[in-house]
Amino acid sequence: MIKYLFNKLLFTLGVLLSVSLITFILSFVLPSDPARALLGIQADESAIEGIRKELKLDKPLPVQYWEFLKRLSRGDLGRSYITNRDVKSLIAERFAATFKLAIFAITVATILGISVGSFAVYTNSTAVYKSLTSLSVIFASIPVFFLGLLVSLFIGSYLKLLPISGYEPGLKGIKYIILPGITLGIYPFALISRLTASRLLEIMESDYVKAHFAMGIKRWKIVLILALRNAMNPVITVIGNSVAILLSGAFFVEYIFSWPGIGLLWVDSVLRYDFPVITGIVMFSAMVFVVVSMVVDLLHPIIDPRIRALQ
């Protein structure tokens, strides 16, 4: 187990290192001169030369990469070209909103997805199962920005049930989170409900389930108590991946509903060519993504004793 953990950690570190390299290459390819961007177009050459020296932009690329890594390890992501604010604190400020939205969306999607999936198997009807799979294919095919538009049009503007944009911290803000949360949760909901149903259906065919039927145990007990736990492993992977994706930025949803998270910050910075913020968010999101994926991997042996035995 310890060896497995160690290997996993080493691998994650390696991936993070190559992510940093890719980010570095990206920031090198980006069509900008950081020194000029910091001082503005009218700055004179000697001042720009000075900044270049200070940022070590005159050094060879490997040295620059080393400097970049050193800054990263200190958690220094630089300053925004436009607002001149520290990128790290900008991200920290915005992450709370993204976190809330992601957790809301994934909680709703998980609870509804597993219930709907189990219910479809419980009914034991091909029609219900087939309509669930068709619906999930349809849901998974609607791009989230178009879905957000439809949701805000019908529920927000047409029925006027909920506000279509706004943000307020604390419990008062709950009415603002519902529309973006639903929009964001539809895709994971489709995946989770479908996967739960298809895994459950496989398990219902197995001998031990049939044995329990023969003992006269009720169908709902078998589905919920016996089969569901065994069906959970791939579902947990999907939930974990969704959390990782949602946490690393829900650009479209945050953009449409003006939700002040890192997704919105990222889109704004991309549109304004604010490169330190762009690379900072890329690095941060990739880190969140990799760490959440690692946690999900470590969860598997806890849930499934068979995997524990394999290790």
Partner 1 sequence: MRIFTIVAIVFIAILAMVSFSPFQVTGYAPDNISLPDTLSSPSPRHLFGSDNVGRDVFARVIYGARASFLIAFGAQIISFAIGISVGVFSGYYNNHWVDRVCSFIMASFHGFPFLLFVIAITAALGPGIYKIMTAIGIVNWVGIAGVTRSEVISHSEKEYVITARSFGYSNFSILFWHILPNVITSSLIVLIQGFGDVVAVEAGLSFLGLGVPPPTASWGKMIFTGKDYITTAWWMSVLPGIFLVMTILSFNIIGEELMKRWTRRK
- Decide: is 41 part of the binding site for partner 1 (CB under 8 A): no
- Decide: is 64 part of the binding site for partner 1 (CB under 8 A): no
Q: Is 52 exposed, middle or buried (0-12, 13-18, 19+ CB in 10 A)?
A: middle
Q: Indicate the angle between helix axes 228-247 and 174-204, nearest 10 degrees.
A: 140
- Decide: is 22 part of the binding site for partner 1 (CB under 8 A): yes
Least distance (Å) between residue 214 CB and partner 1: 30
Strands (E), the chain: none
- Decide: is 138 part of the binding site for partner 1 (CB under 8 A): yes
Binding mask 118-137 for partner 1 (x = CB under 8 A): ----------------x--x
Token pair, residue 294, equals 């690692």
Q: Is 90 exposed, middle or buried (0-12, 13-18, 19+ CB in 10 A)?
A: buried
- Decide: is 2 part of the binding site for partner 1 (CB under 8 A): no
- Decide: is 174 part of the binding site for partner 1 (CB under 8 A): no
Partner residues linked to 110 by β-bridges = none
Closest CA to 176 of 274, 90, 75, 104: 104
Least distance (Å) between residue 114 CB and partner 1: 22
Q: Answer for the pair 136, 190: CB distance below 8 angstroms, yes or no.
A: yes
Among 4, 66, 146, 213, binds partner 1 (CB under 8 A): 146
Tokens 């993504």: give the residue: 289
Binding segment toward partner 1, per CB under 8 A, in 52-60, 115-123, 144-152, 302-310: 144-152
22 vs 146: CA distance, rounded Å: 31
- Decide: is 270 part of the binding site for partner 1 (CB under 8 A): yes
Binding site for partner 1 (CB under 8 A): 11, 14-16, 18-19, 22, 26, 29-31, 134, 137-138, 140-146, 149-150, 153, 157, 244-245, 248-249, 251-252, 255-256, 266-267, 270-271, 273, 278, 281-282, 285-286, 289-290, 293
